[in-house]
């Protein structure tokens, strides 16, 4: 977690609207809007007021803004009090500050860093023809149950806040 508190050498400003794939080795601070895919060996910082819709794979992630997507973080994911996150998280260490809002599923610990993030669903990414072998990342249940809510755990909503 060497970069977690250091200055971000690259900033995507509050007036920026970025779509695509972003990869970097050190750290990036997003203050505007980003949509796509993020891959990093360093730290991603989503500033307060920023909006990120992406699958993220990074060493460390610090969230103060709004995020939607799946995160695979090899060291630490830190949600500050202003964070609003919707998606599935896989991380070795997780810190959620009082006031943060999270809706999704979480895997925490050493086993979390052993598999990557699942893609976020997007209507633009379905092309009608897909490979029949999705591999081990998308296992299908052998016995289907009649109650669809039992097939996959429902996302958990966590609201951290003080009773003032």
Give tens-digit pLDDT for 15-29. Answer: 999 999 999 999 999
pLDDT on residue 158: 63
pLDDT on residue 110: 77
pLDDT greater at residue 146 or residue 21? 21
**Domain count across the chain:** 1
Tell me the residue range of the domain where 64 lies: 10-117+152-159
Determine, yes or no, domain membership for 113.
yes
pTM to 2 decimal places: 0.67
Which positions ≥6 away from 55 have C-beta within 8 Å?
37, 38, 69, 70, 71, 117, 118, 119, 120
The structure tokens listed for 6 are 């250091």
Round to whole Å and give the CA distance between 117 and 107: 11
Query: Averaged over 62-82, what is the pLDDT?
Result: 97
């Amino acid at each position: 977690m060497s970069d977690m508190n250091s200055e971000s050498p690259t900033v995507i400003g509050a007036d920026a609207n970025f779509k695509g794939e972003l990869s970097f080795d050190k750290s990036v601070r997003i203050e505007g809007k980003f949509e796509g895919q993020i891959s990093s060996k360093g730290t991603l910082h989503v500033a307060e007021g920023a909006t990120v819709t992406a699958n993220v794979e990074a060493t460390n992630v610090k969230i103060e803004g709004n995020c939607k997507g799946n995160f695979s973080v090899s060291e630490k994911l830190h949600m500050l009090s202003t964070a609003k996150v919707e998606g599935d998280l896989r991380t070795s260490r997780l810190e959620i500050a009082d006031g943060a809002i999270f809706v999704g599923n979480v895997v925490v610990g050493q086993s979390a860093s052993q598999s990557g993030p699942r893609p976020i669903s997007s209507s633009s990414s379905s092309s009608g023809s897909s490979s029949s072998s999705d591999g081990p990342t998308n296992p299908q249940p052998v016995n289907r149950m009649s109650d669809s809510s039992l097939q996959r755990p429902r996302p958990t909503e966590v609201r951290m806040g003080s009773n003032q």
